[in-house]
């Protein structure tokens, strides 16, 4: 992925994919990334595999440089909520599909 070139290449591809699903679509990340985004170093290090543990400072730096507004527990909750479709839009979609 182009956003993970240079110093960011150390971030494992599976983690890059999780980051992009979170950033682009508001998909709640797994335990490790959720801990990182919540600034929970204790749980982040406990949930990290060896590759992610080595990349942890780089992952935090990536968010600081590219998406600082998406870092932090409250920002994460707000971002995920903002990407979820509303009940009204879901109802309209279903209505359209059913032709009602």
Q: What is the pLDDT of residues 14-66, one digit of tens each?
A: 999 999 998 888 888 999 999 999 999 999 999 999 999 999 999 999 988 88
Q: What's residue 94's pLDDT?
A: 58
**In 10 A of CB 94, how many CB atoms?**
10
Q: What's residue 88's pLDDT?
A: 52
Contact 30, 18 (CB under 8 A): yes
Structure tokens at 56: 């942890």
Tens-place pLDDT, residues 55-97: 999 999 998 888 888 878 787 778 788 877 655 555 565 566 6
Q: What's residue 44's pLDDT?
A: 97
Q: Structural domain tally of the chain? A: 1
The whole domain housing 10 covers 2-98
d(CA 24, CA 42): 27
pTM of the model: 0.76
Mean per-residue pLDDT for 1-9?
Answer: 79
Structure tokens at 20: 């992009």
Buried b (16+ CB within 10 A) or exposed e, 21-42: ebbeebeebeebbbbbbbeeee
């Amino acid at each position: 992925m182009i956003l993970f070139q240079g110093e960011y290449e150390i971030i494992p591809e599976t983690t890059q994919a999780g980051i992009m699903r979170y950033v682009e679509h508001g998909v709640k990340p797994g335990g490790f990334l959720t801990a990182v985004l919540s600034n929970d170093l204790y749980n982040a290090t406990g949930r990290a595999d060896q590759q992610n543990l080595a990349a942890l400072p780089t992952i935090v730096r990536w968010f600081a440089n590219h998406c600082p507004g998406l870092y932090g527990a409250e920002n994460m909750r707000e971002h995920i909520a903002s990407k979820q479709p509303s009940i009204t839009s879901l109802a309209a979609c279903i209505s359209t599909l059913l032709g009602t």
